[in-house]
Amino acid sequence: RHNLGDRLLYFSAAHPFVGDDVAALQERLFNMGFDIGRTDGIFGPRTESAVRDFQRNRGLDPDGRCGPRTLRELKRLRRTVTGGRPDVLRESVRLLARGTSLLGVVVALDPGHGGDDLGIVSGGLCERDLMADLAARLTTRLLDSGLESHLIHGPDESPSEEERAARANELEADLLISLHAEGSTSRHAQGVSAYYYGNARGSSAVGERFAQLVQREIVSRTDMLDCRTHPKVWDLLRRTRMPTVRLDLGYLTNDHDARALGSTDFRAAVAEAVLAATQRLFLPPELDAPTGQLHVPRLAGRA
């Protein structure tokens, strides 16, 4: 909850600065056209690079540290170009540069629980085991269609969200998908939802688009209630450098959802939905297929 100017800001790999003042700095740089990535409130290497670029533009010593002189220059300038979102443009350009082929696309998968962390347990069903099975099915389906798929943790461990994000970043994945089920004290709570990084200062444009595509594909291919997509600032979503989506695939405490989650047919349908959404993410609008109708073929020899 620091205000911009309360403290000297600089990049520290061991203990990065995190706070509202960092987010305010990122927002000001972003509005002037400097590439800070996401407005996530974390002073990382990309924010440092943007500060250096700003300092060079203003004739300051480009040391990457946001101190009094840099703050004075920031306050002197105001945004002079309005309309459009530079973050959307940058992410869209990177997406178009990959082309429409899925060959070589790297997808990181995160079964939400593992080891002694069972997640939600209800009616003889365990979230940890169901999501591990779904991750295995999805891995097979992705590999069969020419993508690269990596689990970011093994079945005997349940790392923190920060560690999961770090592992996905090390993989330089194009997408990260985190798989979860839900639980509630009310047996009436049900449905599937998708989450992407976003707050009042901005969002991951591609993450939002991917969340919408996955959500629609799952709802169209199953009889699950649509609980829509939502922006969040959870560590896994904001600390990853790639578009990241968390899927909550139903409530194990609800009879209808529990029957679905316990069904291999449902988990196979979810895997197909995720794959179709991934393909649609890389397709231009004129080549996109209607929701629920796209089938991504297996590569020859992998059927």
Whether 296 is in a domain gets the answer: no
pLDDT at 81: 44
Q: Which of 182, 178, 163, 160 is nearest to 112 (CA)?
A: 178
**pLDDT digits over 176-207, tens only?**
999 999 999 999 999 999 999 987 666 788 89
Question: Higher-confidence residue: 283 or 167?
Answer: 167
What confidence score (pLDDT) does residue 107 get? 95
pLDDT (0 to 100) of residue 287: 65
Q: What was the pLDDT predicted at 19?
A: 87
Q: The tokens 């093994």 sit on which residue?
A: 154
Residue 1 lies in a domain: no
Strand, helix or coil at 154? coil
In tens, the pLDDT along 34-79 reads 888 778 889 999 999 999 999 998 889 999 999 999 998 888 875 5
Asked if 142 and 224 sit in the same domain, the reply is yes
49 shares a domain with 134: no
Residue 58: predicted pLDDT: 87
Q: Say if 180 falls within a structural domain.
A: yes
Please report whether residue 295 resides in a domain: no
Best CA proximity match to 166, nearest among 204, 220, 125, 110: 110
| Statement to judge: residues 140 and 182 lie in one domain | yes
* Segments forming the whole domain that contains residue 189: 91-287
Between the two ends of the chain, the Cα-to-Cα distance in Å is 54
pLDDT at residue 30, rounded to an integer? 82
Integer Cα distance of 41 and 47 in angstroms: 10
Identify whether residues 197 and 104 lie together within a single domain.
yes
pLDDT higher than 80, residue 99: no
Domain check: are 35 and 124 in the same one? no
120, 189 contact by CB (below 8 A) = no
What's the pTM value of the predicted model, to 2 decimals?
A: 0.76
Phi–psi pair at 56, nearest 5 degrees: -60, -40
- Looking at residue 97, what is its pLDDT? 61
Task: Please tell me whether residues 282 and 183 are part of one structural domain.
Answer: yes
Select the more confidently predicted residue: 169 or 199.
Answer: 169
- Residue 124 domain flag: yes
Q: Which of 57, 83, 109 is the last residue of a domain?
A: 83
**Do 104 and 52 belong together in one domain?**
no
Asked if 30 and 169 sit in the same domain, the reply is no
Residue 10 lies in a domain: no
Higher pLDDT, 172 or 203: 172
Average pLDDT over residues 244-265: 97
**Window from 17-26, 110-119, 197-206 with minimum mean pLDDT:** 197-206
Torsion of the alpha carbons at 25, 27, 32 and 36, rounded to the nearest 10: 80
Average pLDDT, the chain: 87
Distance between CA atoms of residues 233 and 202, nearest Å: 11
Q: Answer yes or no: are the C-beta atoms of 221 and 291 closer than 8 Å.
A: no
Question: How far is residue 69's CA from residue 234's CA, in Å, rounded to a whole number?
Answer: 33
Query: Do residues 67 and 99 share a domain?
Result: no
Q: pLDDT-based confidence at 87, cuts 50/70/90?
A: low
Tell me what the mean pLDDT of segment 255-284 comes to: 93
Residues 211 and 145 both lie in one domain: yes
- Domain boundary (83, 107, 134) is at 83
pLDDT of amino acid 36:
85
13 in a structural domain: no
Range 103-109 average pLDDT: 90
pLDDT value for 241: 85
Residue 31 sits in the same domain as residue 164: no
What average pLDDT score do residues 236-251 get?
Answer: 93
pLDDT of residue 90: 58
Domain assignment present for residue 127? The answer is yes
For 167-197, letters b (16+ CB in 10 Å) and e give bbbebebbbbbbbbbbeeeeeebbbbbbbbb
Do 36 and 149 belong together in one domain? no
Give the CATH number for residue 42. Answer: 1.10.101.10
Distance of CA 257 to the CA centre of its chain: 24
Using the predicted structure, report yes or no on whether residue 117 has a pLDDT greater than 60: yes
What CATH number is associated with residue 186?
Answer: 3.40.630.40
Q: Total structural domains in the chain? A: 2
**Which of 83, 110, 132 is the last residue before a domain boundary?**
83
